Structure 1
Amino acid sequence: MNPIIDTNLVLNRTIPPPIKDAVEFNLTLKPYTKYALSNGAPVYYINDGTEEVALVEIVFNAGNSFENKNLIASATNYLLKNGTSKKTALEINEHFEYYGAYLNRTCNNETTVLTLHCLSKHLNVLLPVIKEILTDSVFPEEELAIFKQNSIQHLSVNLKKCDFVANRLIDQYLYGAQHPYGRVSSVEDIQAITREDLVNFFANFYRKASCKIFAAGKLPADFENLLNESFGELHLNENITSVIHKTEMVAEKKSRINNDPNGVQGAVRIARPFPNRHHPDFKRASVLNTLFGGFFGSRLMSNIREEKGYTYGIHSFLENHIRESAWVISTEAGKDVCEATIEEVYKEMKILREELIDDEELLLVKNYIMGAHLGDIDGPFQVIARWKSLILNDLDETYFYDSMSTIKNISAEELKELANKYLQPEEFFELVVI
């Protein structure tokens, strides 16, 4: 017997499916749940997902903006998990590995972060060890000695790389050598770190801390209680505010550094100061930056990589600093074409100042940015990361939705106006390190 086929349900493969531009989507940011520990420390979490996994991030106001001696913030943060009075560094690492968990630590300019990835069911045995780390880290002399030896070796290797040196120098040019965004490490700084420095910084910024906790994943029903049992009695809600530092840009706008006499490649950095996210131009400039050098199909990539073949890749970006920012163009090219590369960057700036972007390219850029945002909020870990960025920058969901509106509605005329305001070569620092 032949089956009866409903022809209305058969897919007609001669007709292509409808295509919907990403700009037509209305993205929403899943709201978080806010909870306060007994000590008042805020917790922001997203209880969502299909897998039994969890992310917990503890963010401290303890970045290098708070240190009174170079490298102390990053050294303290790195050595947090290298020993307590009850556990050695090996025992701490083995504990997390036994449960298939990973505890990472990161030091930024304003903040430091402890990040835990684990199976949700193991939070009850992992959070108490993090509590022990935050209250009883002892910074053993032998661990500090290993850290200093490794840091000096890494620095000596990196100082031979033109891109590493260029990244250090351009930040100094933009912010000043004594500004937290511009300070760099030296062998002397590393050698000068003492255990007493670490113990004091730990006491002032971890045992008595200003922190926020972010979490996401398929969290256990007693998640709030688990956090409060481990951290609710700690001093995590102290009044530790960010320190404001004065920016002192260098006077000379153009620099050429010969770092390696035998080098065949040069690192090119072109950068200017730029307002932070609270400035009304920031959201619109993010769109202009994407067009200019922010993705693989950008103007800079099409010209300098695809057409000229000067580099494997070139990109521009707005720096992700909280207090101040910068607009940076970054690439590495053969040393014989570094100057030609800079000329082409300025040519692309000139075109954006003088010519309107056509509708097709503008739609391509808008669709790319919206597609990237789609990926950035796909899953609970990504959503809480977006919320963390907003909260740490003193922003709320209005900023997210205003950004989506800006992407959809910005015009070619607005982009040209922004290019004339900000893409002026005389405003940029120019650095080549070979």
Structure 2
Amino acid sequence: MLNRTIAPPIIDPVAFDLQLPACKKYTLSNGVEVFAVDMGTEDTMMVNWVFYAGNWFEKKKAIAAATNFLLKNGTSKRTAFEINEHFEYYGSYLNRACHNETAEITLHSLSKHINELLPVVAEMVQDAVFPQEELTIYQQNAQQRLKVNMQKCEFVASRLIDAYLFGENHPYGKYMNLEDYTAVQREDIVSFYNNYYKQGRCVIFVAGKLPKDIIETLEKNFGHLPLKPRTSSAEIIQHPLQPAAQKKYEILNDANGVQSAIRIARPFPNRQHPDFQKVMVLNNVFGGFFGSRLMGNIREEKGYTYGIYSYLLNFTSESGWMVSTEAGRDVTPNTIKEVYFEMQQLRDEPIDDEELMMTRNSMIGSILGDLDGPFQVIGRWKSMILNNVDDNYFQRSVEIIKTITAKELQELANKYLQQEAFYELVVI
């Protein structure tokens, strides 16, 4: 009989044997890959269509995002209202999102309703008509959101720092102005849609408690469409980096503002670089979680900010290492000074065993949360697949977290955490 007066042993997360649940791969008749994770106890599922239709491929600003958003706003058979009503009738949720390289359509629904929902998604992919009145509403709403956001220092800082790192004309660095939305024409959207959706490169991810015939159902609805596999020799576009020559900027956005947005960032290689996974550990020590050095110094000890974090940018071709916070206008110089102080400490002194173990446990615990359910698991697989890393990437990451030494982290700090490599932006 269990003795409840005795506490169970405490086991550090770092001792857990983490395994990424398997993902099966199928290929439709047109070459489009389907990656499936069949797990879970609830009769729910997700289907995620990823098109290589991000702003990387647009020749005119705002076209990729506008096209993606308006996919749901009318076909030759249904109005925007009828499309939304159809998905709501079956208790499902259909969302769109546009990123740098890719754009997505994501469907969450009960597994039993998937046969009624997939044909409508296929209709959107092949028969969207982009009514002019829907485009006009989209432009008005986008401009209004931009006007509101431009009053926020953190919004201005986030878009400008990317432009400094990558260049204003690079997909990672360009940002929208009011006139960019005005310049969007329906003809531009239709052309982009024809090239990058109707006949575009696509990959499908499915997860949840999957119907036994899910692959046959996807084949029926999407296997005959003129879509291309993600690995096809389609149009490859190169965008040269054009980083700013100047490294320090201060922007006055609100003369009466009492708080500033601070961004300190440097370019960094993508996930395929051998240092990327190791630097993820160093980043966690530096500013990656609530127990990090930046948080302990600048928030807990100095009280300059409510929160400060560092992270590696989630881009595919290139990346960046970013420190992000908002602080009182009067303590902004001291906040920046302390960020560089923590960089120096990591360069000069090795991390002690206790701090390194806390970092390991935090990262392993975070991964455990990321594996809690089929949608999170397929998210891990999706990240690896779209970033073109091999199937062992996850296991290597876990192994690095568990075994990287304080000496290795100090060497990485000396290699990458050098003040002169960072761009510095303050928006007040």
TM-score clears 0.5: yes
Report Cα offsets for 1:400-420 as digits up to 9, x if no partner: 111111000011111111111
Residue 3 of structure 1 corresponds to which residue in structure 2? Answer: none
2:215 matched to 1:232? no
Give the corresponding residue for 1:135: 126
Q: Which runs of 5+ in 2 are unaligned?
A: none
Counterpart of 1:226 in structure 2: which amino acid? T
Match of 2:271 in 1: 277
Are the equivalent residues in 2 in contact too, given 1:65–1:242 (CA < 8 A)? no
Q: 1:169 aligns with which of 160, 164, 174?
A: 160
How many angstroms apart in 2 are the aligned matches of 1:236 and 1:377? Answer: 31
The residue type equivalent to 1:143 in the other structure is E
Tell me the distance in 1 between the aligned counterparts of 2:124 and 2:64. 16
Is residue 82–residue 88 contact of structure 1 (8 Å, CA) maintained in 2? yes
The unaligned stretches of length 5 or more in structure 1 are 1-8
In 2, Cα distance between the equivalents of 1:10 and 1:156? 62
| Mapped partners of 1:371, 1:264: distance in 2 | 37
Q: How do residues 160-309 of structure 1 correspond to structure 2 at under 5 angstroms?
A: 160-237=151-228, 239=232, 240-309=234-303
- Aligned positions of 1:350-361 closer than 5 A: 350-361=344-355
TM-score, normalised relative to structure 2: 0.98
Q: Say if 1:110 and 1:242, in contact at 8 Å, map to a contact too.
A: no
SS class of match (1:243):
coil
Considering only aligned residues, what root-mean-square deviation do their CA atoms show, in Å?
0.9
**Selected match of 2:324 from 311, 326, 330:** 330
Residue 37 of structure 2 is matched in structure 1 by: 46
1:243: Cα distance to partner? Answer: 2.2
2:57 to 39, 42, 66: 66
CA distance in 1, matches of 2:272, 2:334: 35
Residues 168 and 184 in structure 1, CA contact (< 8 A), matched pair in contact too: yes
- State how far apart, in whole Å, the 1-side matches of 2:156 and 2:304 are: 20
Whole-angstrom distance in 1 between the partners of 2:274 and 2:86: 48
Q: Are 2:391 and 1:397 aligned? A: yes
Task: Give CA deviations for 1:152-206 in whole Å, capped at 9, x if unaligned.
Answer: 1000111111000001110000000000000000111100001101110000011
How far off its partner does 1:18 sit? Answer: 1.0
Aligned-partner Cα distance in 2 for 1:191–1:247: 27
Q: Secondary structure at the residue paired with 1:403?
A: helix
How far apart in 2 are the matches of 1:31 and 1:243? 33
Which digits, 9 at most, give the CA deviation of each residue in 1:303-360, with x for residues without a partner?
0001111000000000000000000000001111111100000010111111111111
Between the aligned partners of 2:97 and 2:146, the Cα distance in structure 1 is 18
Identical-residue share of aligned pairs (%): 59
Q: Does residue 340 of the first structure (1) align with residue 340 of the second (2)?
A: no
Q: CA deviation at 1:244?
A: 2.1
What CA deviation, in whole Å up to 9, does each residue of 1:67-103 have, x standing for no partner? 0000100000000000001101010001000101000
2:90 pairs with 1:96: no
| Cα drift, residue 242 of structure 1 | 4.6
Does the 8 Å contact 1:131/1:230 carry over to 2?
Answer: yes
Quote the residue 1:126 is aligned against: 117
Q: Does 1:413 align with 2:407?
A: yes
**Which stretch of the first structure deviates more once superposed, 240-249 or 276-285?**
240-249
In the alignment, the residues of structure 1 paired with residue 236 and residue 390 of structure 2 have an alpha-carbon distance, to the nearest angstrom, of 19
Aligned counterpart, 1:157: 148
1:416-427 matches, cutoff 5 A: 416-427=410-421
Measure, in 2, the Cα distance between the counterparts of 1:244 and 1:163. Answer: 30
Q: Does 1:11 align with 2:3?
A: yes
SS class of match (2:228):
coil
Pairwise CA distance, 1:12:
5.0
**In 1, Cα distance between the equivalents of 2:192 and 2:353?**
54
Q: Distance in 2 between matches of 1:97 and 1:383?
A: 26
Aligned to 2:107: 116
Q: Is the 8 A contact 1:271 1:329 kept in 2?
A: yes
Q: AA paired with 2:240?
A: K
Matched-pair contact (CA < 8 Å) for 1:50–1:218 = yes
Q: Is the contact between residue 81 and residue 89 of structure 1 (CA under 8 Å) also seen in structure 2? A: yes
Partner SS, residue 154 of structure 2: helix
SS at match of 1:66: coil
Structure 2: distance between partners of 1:235 and 1:345: 52
Tell me, in whole angstroms, the C-alpha distance in 2 between the residues paired with 1:12 and 1:120: 41
Contact 1:61–1:242 under 8 Å retained in 2: no
Q: What TM-score results when the alignment is normalised by the length of structure 1?
A: 0.97
Supply the distance in 1 between the matched residues of 2:377 and 2:18 (Cα, whole angstroms): 12
The amino acid that maps onto 1:83 is: G
Aligned length: 425
Bigger Rg, structure 1 or 2: 1
